[in-house]
Structure 1
Amino acid sequence: MQHADSPFVLDHEAFERLVVDELDQLPDDMIDGLDNVVFVVEDRPEDGSLDLLGLYDGWALTERDRYGVGELPDRIIVYREPHLAACADEDELRDEIHTTLVHEIAHFYGIDDDRLHELGWA
């Protein structure tokens, strides 16, 4: 049993399964448009901070005129440790992963943080 003051713990594999589950629950039209994008789970951002939950690393669809053939896939990165630090239990974690996925996928479609904030996804 976990104490309220201890952080929520989940190993990399279990966290990755939750990410896949949440991806499966996203609307097909949101996922089907993702061209040359891979989803990656990493423990934490390069700077080691726990502030960033996810990252879209690539060119938005709206900027892909600069995109060459044979480019490496864009990456949507979900950071495990910041999510665990922000959440008290699995339900909260699932909600946060879901929001992070929608947020980063929206960046792929060229939706910026200001608009995401207006829509309630920031």
Structure 2
Amino acid sequence: MGRHFSHPPSADEIEAIARAALARLPVAFARHLGEVVLRIEEEADEETLTALRIGHPLDLTGLYEGVPIGEKESAAPGAMPDRVTLYRRAILDEWVSDGEPFETLVHHIVIHEIGHHFGLSDADMHALEEQAR
């Protein structure tokens, strides 16, 4: 990682970085991602922010929506596919504020959100992030 951007990365560039992060996941995890939808949006909508009790759209960089793998058997038939949404403006804001390399930041956010898909703890997500570097 370490590509330098001279401009704010576009949604397409963020998606490419996110997909590259997913491609680096260990096979045991990657094989369970076929149905997960990856979306890039400019910012979270008011409904999402209200539901999560978040006051400002720049406070939400990513969101997992779905049923974690361990709970799939109890999911309602015909449920929407699991999805990970990355919020471009919030990611850009965090990038500018923290000074972390952009790809590292997106990698971290994607792995964290995918961790929710697997029902992982924060410690497990950190270990998965290290494996996917």
TM (normalized to structure 1)? Answer: 0.74
Q: Does 1:10 align with 2:9?
A: yes
Between the aligned partners of 2:19 and 2:26, the Cα distance in structure 1 is: 13
Runs of at least 5 residues in structure 1 that lack an aligned partner in the other structure: 1-7
Give the corresponding residue for 1:31. 30
Give the corresponding residue for 2:85. 77
Between the aligned partners of 2:99 and 2:80, the Cα distance in structure 1 is: 33
Matched residue type, 1:99: H
User: Alpha-carbon deviations, 1:14-72, whole Å to 9, x = none?
Assistant: 22222222222222222212352111111111136111111110111122232134322
Equivalent runs, 1:51-90 vs 2, <5 Å? 51-88=59-96
2:109 pairs, out of 89, 96, 100, with: 100
Between the aligned partners of 1:120 and 1:36, the Cα distance in structure 2 is: 20
Matched residue type, 2:71: E
Count the aligned residue pairs: 110
Query: What secondary structure does 2:67 align onto?
Result: coil
Runs of at least 5 residues in structure 2 that lack an aligned partner in the other structure: 1-6, 47-55, 127-133
Query: What secondary structure does 1:87 align onto?
Result: helix
Asked if the contact 2:17/2:107 (under 8 Å) is kept, the reply is no
Between the aligned partners of 2:88 and 2:79, the Cα distance in structure 1 is: 27
Tell me which stretches of 4 or more aligned residues in structure 1 moved more than 3 Å: 88-91, 118-121
Between the aligned partners of 1:96 and 1:28, the Cα distance in structure 2 is: 22
Structure 1 residues 120 and 36: alpha-carbon distance in aligned structure 2, compared to 1, 3 A threshold:
closer
